[in-house]
């Protein structure tokens, strides 16, 4: 079996509910879709979610990388030699992790289709579904409470609140949401790098009675020692997100005990294969793992889901990036029911439709 053709195109999708986090407001998301065709008639599909502030990529640059680099290196090759192909792509695409993730997904999708089984079973098949948190961006307190009540009324049992702009406002939002939804709903908080050390410690102390499950990326991404100081002084588990961009970052976080948990996003690390390596480091260091996402099509969410289902130490999922996307070309690639994500049973990544 040989690769005969590679196609890539960008899709700009509007969010049904724009949101705000500590450093930006978002109303649209651009994803880059990839299709790899083979001479047997099989094809695999993947998706990149480039983000200048997180992955350092743009949709235009991602498309150029896929056409100028990936096409020439993959055409005529055996798609089942996943490790070899991804290692060859890594040097020229080192600074384009979401582009690498798209290729990685498409090759894994092909592998699953070739084997005739869903990818999560090929990767390990530990569980068949996983609950996911649903995120509420930075809103006024009353609107945050109202949104939290709407989501829990719809069966969502885990909420992630965004903050990082004002400790006082964040404390009030957390306390009010906990009072509104009761003790049985899991609450997570993501400061998106917005706090100083003292701000983070003050926040943790003041929301102690709200029973937060975790505090995600309280401090700036490049200040790892600062993250470690917050981790060592708080009872709430601290999760590294933006501070974890690659396998080397995972090693540093684990070696120096700088976080209690890590958020692995396929777009940051370069795909499923690299995520498996990062996950192994985390498991060796006894760091709990969450699989997270960007503003991603259901196709990319499916890839994160298949990874999460395959490994026993992936304890948490934050795979809601597709829920507000309008006109998602890959809608239906995953099943979302009452706060739980399920794969469909189709081979590979499970998307059975035709991408435009």
Active-site residues, by number, are: 162, 190, 216, 241, 265
Which H or E element spans position 302? helix 298-310
Maximum pairwise Cα distance, the chain: 61
SS3 state of residue 286? coil
Element (H, E) at 29: strand 25-38
DSSP string, 180-230: HH-TTSEEEEE-TT---HHHHHHHHHHTGGG--SEEE--S-TT-HHHHHHH
Residue appearing with tokens 């396929």: 266
Give the Cα separation of 303 and 300 in Å (integer).
Answer: 5
CB 267 within 8 A of CB 100: no
């Amino acid at each position: 079996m040989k690769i005969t053709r590679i196609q890539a195109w960008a899709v700009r999708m509007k969010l049904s509910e724009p949101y705000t986090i500590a450093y930006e407001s978002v109303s649209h998301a651009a994803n880059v879709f990839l299709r790899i065709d083979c001479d047997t008639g099989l094809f695999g599909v993947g998706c990149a979610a480039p983000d200048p502030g997180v992955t350092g990529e743009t949709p235009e640059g991602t498309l150029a990388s896929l056409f100028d680099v990936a096409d020439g290196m993959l055409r005529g090759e055996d798609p089942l030699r996943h490790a070899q192909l991804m290692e060859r792509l890594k040097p020229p695409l080192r600074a384009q992790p979401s582009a690498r993730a798209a290729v990685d997904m498409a090759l894994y999708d092909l592998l699953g289709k070739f084997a005739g089984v869903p990818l999560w079973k090929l990767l390990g098949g530990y569980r068949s579904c996983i609950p996911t948190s649903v995120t509420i961006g930075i809103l006024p307190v009353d609107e945050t409470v109202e949104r939290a009540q709407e989501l829990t009324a719809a069966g969502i049992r885990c909420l992630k609140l965004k903050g990082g702009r004002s400790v006082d406002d964040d404390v009030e939002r957390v306390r009010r949401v906990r009072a509104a939804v009761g003790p049985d709903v899991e609450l997570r908080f993501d400061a998106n790098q917005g706090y100083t050390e003292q701000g983070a410690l003050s926040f943790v102390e003041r929301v102690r009675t709200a029973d937060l499950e975790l505090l995600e990326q309280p401090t700036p991404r490049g200040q790892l020692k600062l993250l470690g100081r917050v981790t060592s002084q708080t009872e709430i588990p601290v999760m590294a997100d933006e501070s974890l961009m690659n396998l080397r970052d995972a090693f540093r976080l684990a070696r120096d005990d700088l976080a209690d948990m890590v958020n692995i996003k396929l777009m940051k690390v370069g795909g499923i294969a690299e995520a498996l390596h990062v996950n192994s480091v985390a498991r060796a260091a006894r760091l709990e793992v969450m699989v997270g996402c960007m503003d991603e099509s259901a196709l990319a969410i499916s890839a994160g889901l298949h990874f999460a289902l395959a490994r026993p130490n992936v304890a948490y999922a934050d795979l809601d990036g597709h829920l507000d996307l309008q006109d998602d070309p890959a809608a239906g690639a995953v099943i979302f029911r009452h706060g739980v994500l399920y794969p469909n049973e189709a081979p590979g990544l499970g998307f059975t439709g035709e991408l435009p």
